[in-house]
């Protein structure tokens, strides 16, 4: 008769992480979701069920802003996927070239913007692109393309794309580093074996390296997705909480901020704000689930 001993040490060792994570992540998350189910009516907090979400999705005033923000968010994400990640992969491929000189210098230079604060990046780019003090009009003038200059951040058609590209500039170092690390981990023997079979240069990249770094690309995509749908800082630093011009740069983060904390004469509404935060959480959750169950499980992995 041997009783199973309760293995207390597991609980003890897990406790610190579980407690800290619960206190700073899980509890606030669920409390926010709970807050979304209430509303303030005549100074009293009243339970209203899903009414806030119904307002958010179906009341014309709210729904228009919500879908506008969501659409802008998707565009923000698409620009990152189409520009940031391919450039990141290309840079990593170039950097991992064995005969490239000053590779460490380039690597640091490209990575440095990533560690800058959003506020600095937003402010610096606002100055660079400023039609009054900026160097962008001067540079374009010097190459005879002054006519191409426009006050991009102030034009409804260009502002969001401009901000997305600024964000790409800032964060292109991250996919570059991750892919670079993945490329370095590919054993020489495989490439040499390919060489013997006549696969060299560009085709070595497409046929050998790219399939091997696909899982890393997948991870980068999901990081980009989560980062973009949580984005707020850059837009707020560059365009303020009203995300002008005419809400063309309004993304879910700024919409949530404006609603939750209020803006100028608009009083904050924590309950509607929480509803938006809840919607953001759901969107990110769905996106991550699609990736995890739809893509990652089907991805072919190679044992190196």
Partner 1 sequence: MLRRTLPMALATTALVATSAAAQDVTLTIESWRNDDLVLWQEKIIPAFEASHPGIKVKFTPSAPAEYNAALNAKLDAGSAGDLITCRPFDTSLGLYQNGHLADLSDLAGISNFSSVAKSAWQTDDASATFCVPMASVIHGFIYNKDAFAEVGVNVPTTVDEFFSVLDAFKDDGSYIPMAMGTNDQWEAATMGYQNIGPNYWKGEDGRLALIAGEQKLTDEAWVEPYRQIARWKEYLGDGFEAQTYPDSQNVFTLGRAAIYPAGSWEISGFNALADFEMGAFKPPVEAAGDTCYISDHTDIAIGLNAASPNAEAARTFLNWASTEEFASLYANALPGFFSLSSFDIDMQDPLAQEFVSWRGDCESTIRSTYQILSRGTPNLENDTWNASAQVIKGAESPEDAAARLQGGLESWYQPQQ
Using an 8 Å Cβ cutoff, are 217 and 179 in contact? Answer: yes
Binding test (CB under 8 A) with partner 1, winner from 246, 293, 295, 301: 246
By residue count, the chain amounts to 304
Instruction: Indicate whether 241 belongs to the interface with partner 1 (CB under 8 A).
Output: yes
Residue owning tokens 């490209």: 110
CB of 245 to partner 1, least distance (A): 7
> Residue 68 Cβ, how far from partner 1 at the closest point, in Å?
13
Q: Which of 113, 194, 244, 287 binds partner 1 (CB under 8 A)?
A: 244
Instruction: Single out the residue of 142, 24, 161, 146 nearest to residue 83, CA to CA.
Output: 161
Taking every pair of C-alpha atoms in the chain, what is the biggest distance, in angstroms? 91
Main-chain phi, psi angles of 263, to 5 degrees: -155, 125
266 binds partner 1 (CB under 8 A): yes
Residues between 38 and 57 with contacts to partner 1, criterion CB under 8 A: 43
CB-based contact 91:114 (threshold 8 Å): no
Residue 246 backbone phi and psi in degrees, to 5: 50, 45
Applying the rule CB under 8 A, the residues between 103 and 162 that interact with partner 1 are 126, 129-133, 150-156
Q: Does 218 bind partner 1 (CB under 8 A)?
A: no
Beta-carbon count within 10 A of 40 CB: 14
Task: Report if residue 240 touches partner 1, rule: CB under 8 A.
Answer: yes
194: contact with partner 1 by CB under 8 A: no
Which of 6, 115, 265, 304 contacts partner 1 by CB under 8 A?
Answer: 265
Beta bridge partner(s), residue 41: 44
Task: Please report, as ranges, the residues that interact with partner 1 according to CB under 8 A.
Answer: 43, 61-62, 126, 129-133, 150-156, 239-242, 244-247, 257, 261-268
């Amino acid at each position: 008769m041997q009783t199973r001993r309760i293995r207390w040490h597991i609980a003890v060792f897990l406790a610190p992480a579980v407690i800290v994570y619960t206190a700073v992540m899980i509890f606030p998350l669920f409390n926010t979701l709970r807050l979304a189910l209430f509303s303030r009516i005549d100074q009293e907090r009243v339970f209203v069920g899903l009414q806030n979400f119904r307002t958010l999705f179906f009341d014309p005033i709210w729904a228009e802003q919500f879908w506008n923000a969501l659409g802008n968010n998707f565009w923000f994400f698409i620009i990152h996927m189409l520009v940031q990640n391919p450039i990141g992969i290309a840079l990593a491929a170039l950097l991992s070239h064995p005969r490239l000189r000053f590779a460490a210098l380039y690597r640091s230079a490209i990575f440095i913007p990533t560690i800058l604060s959003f506020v600095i990046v937003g402010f610096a780019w606002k100055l660079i692109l400023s039609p009054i003090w900026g160097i962008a009009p001067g540079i374009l003038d010097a190459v005879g393309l002054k006519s191409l200059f426009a006050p991009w951040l102030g034009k409804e058609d260009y502002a969001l794309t401009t901000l997305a590209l600024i964000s790409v500039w800032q964060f292109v170092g991250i996919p570059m580093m991750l892919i670079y690390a993945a490329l370095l981990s590919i054993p020489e023997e495989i490439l040499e074996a390919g060489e013997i079979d006549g696969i060299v240069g560009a085709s070595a990249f497409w046929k050998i390296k790219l399939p091997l770094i696909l899982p890393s690309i997948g991870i980068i995509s999901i990081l980009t997705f989560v980062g973009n749908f949580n984005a707020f800082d850059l837009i707020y630093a560059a365009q303020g909480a009203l995300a002008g011009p005419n809400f063309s740069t309004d993304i879910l983060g700024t919409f949530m901020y404006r609603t939750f904390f209020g803006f100028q004469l608009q009083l904050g509404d924590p309950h509607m704000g929480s509803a938006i935060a809840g919607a953001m959480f759901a969107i990110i959750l769905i996106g991550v689930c699609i990736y995890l169950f739809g893509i990652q499980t089907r991805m072919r992995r190679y044992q190196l």
